[in-house]
Amino acid sequence: MHTFEFSRPADQAAAIAGASQAKTAQQGADVRFIAGGTTLIDLMKLNVETPGRVLDVNRLPLDKIEVTSDGGLKIGATVRNSDLANHPVVQRDYAVLSQAILSGASAQLRNMATTAGNLLQRTRCMYFRDTAMPCNKREPGTGCPAITGSNRMLAILGTSEHCIATNPSDMCVAMAALEATIHVQGQKGLRAIPIGDFHLLPGRTPNRETVLEPGDLITHVTLPRPIAGSKQVYLKLRDRASYEFALASAAIVMTIAAGKVKLARIAMGGVGTKPWRSPEAEAALVGKPADAVNFRKAAEAALREAKPQSENKFKIELAKRCLTHALNMASMS
Amino acid sequence: MTRISEASITSPIGRDTPRVDGPRKVSGLAQYTSDFHFPGMLYAIPVEATIANGRLLKLDTSASEKMPGVRAILHRENIGLIFRSTFEAPFGGISVERRPPFEDDVIRYYGQYIALAVADTFESAKAAADAVRATYAKEKPNVDTHLVADEDPDVVMTTYGPAERLQSQRGEVENAFANAPVKLDQTYVTPAETHNPLETHATTAIWEDSTLTLYESSQGVVNLRGVLAQMFGLPKENVRVITQFVGSGFGGKLWPWSHCPLAAAAARQLSKPVKLVLSRRMMFQSVGHRPLTQQRMRLGATRDGKLVSLQQDYIYHKSILDPYHEDCGEATAFQYSVPNLRVTFGRAKRNVGAGADMRGPGRVPGLYATESAMNELADQLKMDPVKLRILNEPKIDESKGIPFSSRHLVECFELGAQKFNWSSRTPEVASMKRDGLTLGWGMAGCSWMAERFAAAASLHLRDDGTVRIACATQDIGTGTYTILAQLASEKTGAPLEKIEVSLGDTALPEGPTSGGSMATASVIPAVLAAADGAISALLSVAVTTPGSPFENRKPDDLAFQDGRVFVKQDGLNKGVAFSDLLRRANLRLVSGSGSSPMSLGNPKPKFSMHSFGCHFVEVTWQPEIARLRVNRMVTVIDAGRIINPLTGRNQIVGGVVMGIGMALLEHTTYDPQNGAPINSSMADYIVAVNADVPPIEVHFLDYPDKEINKIGARGIGEIGLAGVAPAITAAVHHATGVRVRELPVKIEDLLV
């Protein structure tokens, strides 16, 4: 772990001013905000993150969950994952989010981890986390040993020849299906970023994971008004029963009328380089009878573009079964 | 009607007994190795090679040396003399990795230590270690997981001595197999696995005036003392090793590893106490692992299920230098009755760290192969696998031609089958359903050797009614403190709370290594003899002390029971407490010492001693999401007399949980490009968590084995793991129709 300076900005403006001095808000950032620290401290101990300055935002007034005037939900950046998952409004109206969060990590980690921190969770790719290894995400241009090495856990959607790292978040997958908006206060003022635009595909610059710039502070996330009568499911598949990242997961928000799918919002985890919304699956479903045949067709559509690596071809079929089963569960709920 | 004596009602042997060290553990008073602090203590962190094959050309320590708080960067040029250690008969001086750290510039495995940073604080040491720059001549490492045996002589050297590669042979195995009406020929693979005790290895070394004191997380303080004495050219009496508590070892802490002499060398050079605690990543590199095994099994049988031939030809990977032998054939030659048998082994060198004993070494992967083959043979014969086993139950150990000391395996099978309701099984694949889930049922047998190491112990009876029992064995979390307290209580009548147990210190009488599930069986004779000695001394005091109620009696007239001395013909009711007698004589204590020899390695044993058992498993299978879970287990163990069923059950359950991990989760992956054990964290090397563990029903048969010791107790530390994996893979096949012969069973194996 490198030596760093720790401070606690008095307010948002000071936090943003402090972070604005960074050269980048992406990999290699010399200034980092810290909230729960469940990703940052871990990576600092591994020397993967080496910020010279760490700004503690835990005491900024960003820890509230409120119903908005338009009937949506506003979730503060430092709301703990446990508090979010167990909030009665979330459990009632955004069940997929509650289920997703509770399927991830452990109770201890969820008690620390925050909403904004979870949005910025880094990949668990083993090569990224080991500074003795080359990694295009950590050190651009050094190569990707995962493509030729151990890649069972890695992505099959949204990869590039430079990076196949999976986005590990469960929360983000549910938020993608819920069409969350991420609110950022930065040097140029406020921005509202749809979650689908927030994370970037690796392309040639896997070191850039989000659209955040130096000085950007995530203040809160909003969820649109709950969809009346929507059926929601988060299904996560993994090797062991708990405390493991997904091999494949699916978040479903769906309404069914007269036996037909009226609305479908579908996202997947464990398979993509970002939280993976699937418009293909949604298009394959809307207007069709809500039955097993169409669910499987939607899953086929979702994985059509999948590109497996040497060890993870099975993820294509696993993700299809995951999505199909999650749709089944939702339709019967 | 049989009269039950008072003693047997109050006997602590066989009674559920909470750990006597429990309060110290839960209150934080228990000192683990890394909890010890000393004035002026320095912190050491090893620098690991980041190649697995090649040479170290240059080591640039200049940046590290300039860092604040750094005391030294030690490496090949400045570490000072460290000797090689060698085996000391009958069973000492044991080390797997004999090469002293930094001995040459050749890198043979990833993570091999190339330097040691020593600084005032942990943080400074870590920063300095990270700043050391190494230049290598790198060669491609060989970590290929497909094994072909190396050219090796017929007899190879192993950790414990020479071993014939034709391990066991009887009859005419090739003819018998060729002519067998039913044949099975399959290869089974188990992956490299890594010991993952919660407490990583740790050493604190103190060097003062040619004496070395080591606080070490060790499963064998006496052996460690011997090895360190050799490595530093010190007489044994100048080396003291202390291990009060171990946060488990699973075999990884049986023998010394390189970090230990490194800490000692740093303490020698800097004249300060030095603490060295390994990181989790290092646990995967330089402190042993269960080697990858590949076992070809050939079984021949008659159509009615009688085995006519059994061949096991196994290969395991080994490190470049070290002789560790993964003895997969240990149980093969006696587990079943078969007239024609051959067991051979080969080894394949790889650029990996030394292999090492991991809970149930050799026999656990070996039984995975033999029991899997038996299960497959049963399916081929359309025979119940329990029946097949009972049909092939041997009357004697056919490999040695001697009887078993105590073998109740058939009863294990029968009891297990009954408790599990095995008779309601339908053998067709996917034929059993419950609550929308497909069930799979499987079973397997198991065994584990029962032997004794040499052991010595001393026992004090003291004037305040307390008893002290001392032995330089150690409690690795299994309950040894409690077992010794129970034995001392049984002999002296003192209640557990009045018994002080001292372990884990080479200043005490030499005790056994906590390995091979042998510690309990080994200490029993020594402790009983020590107690007898103390009691005899007490009786002498009783008859010679002026004013003693027994003055001028003969010691033979007296007896000792429940803590009281009495005249035999007067009975216990007129007895006098030993504390009263000692106080009257103005004695603080009387002492006794006892010892017993090693049974292991006896060239002409009269009995074949082993524990036996079996596991019955139910898995659930949801093909629609490829989800397989272990749903319930019944385990029956025949391990002789169980001294403490509470901690005993805990041992078996722990073994079974590890078996679930072995069957479904655990494997160490070596990166094919650079040879690193790449999944070197608890997030990436997955073990079973609570949610993976179903209800586990454990039954002990509790037949005393009087050939091993007076109490009749064999060991139970490892047998719980043996046989779990083949029972689970059989259940997996029953549920899914997929026969997995390479562990662990992964989701992708079942997605067909």
Which pLDDT score is estimated for B6?
44
Interface test mutation site (partner B, options A237, A240, A268, A322, max chain B beta carbons within 10 A): A240
Which pLDDT score is estimated for B9?
54
The pLDDT tens digits for B510-547 are 999 999 999 999 999 999 999 999 999 999 999 999 99
CA distance B620 to B623: 10
What SS3 class is residue B410?
A: helix
- List, in order, residues 6 or more apart from B253 with CB less than 8 Å away: B197, B201, B217, B218, B219, B220, B246, B476
Which pLDDT score is estimated for B1?
36
Which pLDDT score is estimated for A1?
76
**Alpha carbon of B372: minimum distance to chain A alpha carbons (Å):** 22
Active site residue B618: no
The pLDDT tens digits for B270-307 are 999 999 999 999 999 999 999 999 999 999 999 999 99
Contacts of A248 in chain B (CB under 8 A): none
Decide if pLDDT at B155 tops 70: yes
B303: tokens are 């159509």
CA distance B541 to B536: 9
Q: Is A331 on the interface with B (CB under 8 A)?
A: no
How many residues are given for chain A?
A: 333
- CA B723 from centroid of its chain's CA atoms: 16
pLDDT truncated to tens, each residue of chain A (333 aa)? 788 999 999 999 999 999 999 999 999 999 999 999 999 999 999 999 999 999 999 999 999 999 999 999 999 999 999 999 999 999 999 999 999 999 999 999 999 999 999 999 999 999 999 999 999 999 999 999 999 999 999 999 999 999 999 999 999 999 999 999 999 999 989 999 999 999 999 999 999 999 999 999 999 999 999 999 999 999 999 999 999 999 999 999 999 999 999 999 999 999 999 999 999 999 999 999 999 999 999 999 999 999 999 999 999 999 999 999 999 999 999
Decide if pLDDT at B2 tops 50: no
Which pLDDT score is estimated for B688?
97
Interface contact flag, B691 A324, Cβ < 8 Å: no
pLDDT band at residue B752 under the 50/70/90 scheme: confident
The percent of residues in chain B predicted with pLDDT above 90, rounded, is 97
Give the other-Cβ count within 10 Å of B138's Cβ.
15
How many residues are given for chain B?
A: 752
The more confident residue out of B1 and B333 is: B333
Contacts of A242 in chain B (CB under 8 A): 689-692
Helix (H) or strand (E) holding B634: strand B627-638
> Which of B625, B681, B748 has its CB closest to that of A321?
B625
Amino acid of residue B164: E
**What is the model's pTM?**
0.97
A102: tokens are 């509770």
Nearest chain A alpha carbon to B745: A239
> Which of A126, A318, A322 has its CB closest to that of B678?
A126
Amino acid of residue A295: F
Contacts of A328 in chain B (CB under 8 A): 624
Contacts of B673 in chain A (CB under 8 A): 145, 148-149
CA distance B651 to B716: 7
The residue-averaged pLDDT of B91-117 equals: 97
Nearest to B79 by CA among B231, B271, B275, B269: B269
pLDDT band at residue B7 under the 50/70/90 scheme: very low
**Residue A72 and residue A224 in contact, taking contact as beta carbons nearer than 8 Å:** yes
> Which of B127, B629, B683 has its CB closest to that of A241?
B629
Q: How far is CA B480 from CA A26, A75, B521, B588, B597, in A?
A: 53, 53, 11, 26, 19
Q: Is A66 on the interface with B (CB under 8 A)?
A: no
Share of chain B residues as helix, strand and coil, in percent rounded to the nearest 5: 30, 25, 45
Decide if pLDDT at B324 tops 80: yes
CA atoms within 13 A on the CB side of A5: 8
**Residue A267 and residue A284 in contact, taking contact as beta carbons nearer than 8 Å:** no
B597: tokens are 């020899």
The residue-averaged pLDDT of B235-259 equals: 97
Give the other-Cβ count within 10 Å of A265's Cβ.
22
Helix (H) or strand (E) holding B376: helix B363-381
Nearest chain B alpha carbon to A250: B625
Interface test mutation site (partner B, options A131, A314, A320, max chain B beta carbons within 10 A): A314
Contacts of A129 in chain B (CB under 8 A): 681
Q: Which of B193, B510, B718, B748 is catalytic?
A: B718
The pLDDT tens digits for A158-198 are 999 999 999 999 999 999 999 999 999 999 899 999 999 99
Bridge partners (DSSP) listed for residue B203: B216, B276
What SS3 class is residue B589?
A: strand
Which pLDDT score is estimated for B35?
95
Q: Is A325 on the interface with B (CB under 8 A)?
A: yes
Contacts of A317 in chain B (CB under 8 A): 751
Nearest to B322 by CA among B257, B259, B232, B226: B257
| DSSP output for B340-356 | EEEEEEEEEE-SSPPP-
Degrees to nearest 5, angle at CA B730 with B724 and B734: 140
The residue-averaged pLDDT of B438-465 equals: 98
Decide if pLDDT at B127 tops 80: yes
Nearest to B440 by CA among B742, B741, B728, B633: B728
Interface contact flag, B689 A47, Cβ < 8 Å: no
Nearest chain B alpha carbon to A236: B625
Decide if pLDDT at B62 tops 80: yes
> Which of B127, B746, B751 has its CB closest to that of A317?
B751
> Which of A126, A145, A321 has its CB closest to that of B673?
A145
Q: Is B674 on the interface with A (CB under 8 A)?
A: yes
Which pLDDT score is estimated for A2?
83
**Residue B416 and residue B590 in contact, taking contact as beta carbons nearer than 8 Å:** no
Which pLDDT score is estimated for B738?
98
B652: tokens are 């078996």
* Terminal CA-CA length for chain A: 48
**Residue B668 and residue B192 in contact, taking contact as beta carbons nearer than 8 Å:** yes
Which pLDDT score is estimated for B213?
98
- CA B47 from centroid of its chain's CA atoms: 29
**Alpha carbon of B693: minimum distance to chain A alpha carbons (Å):** 9
CA distance B35 to B45: 17
**Alpha carbon of A321: minimum distance to chain B alpha carbons (Å):** 5
Q: Is B556 on the interface with A (CB under 8 A)?
A: no
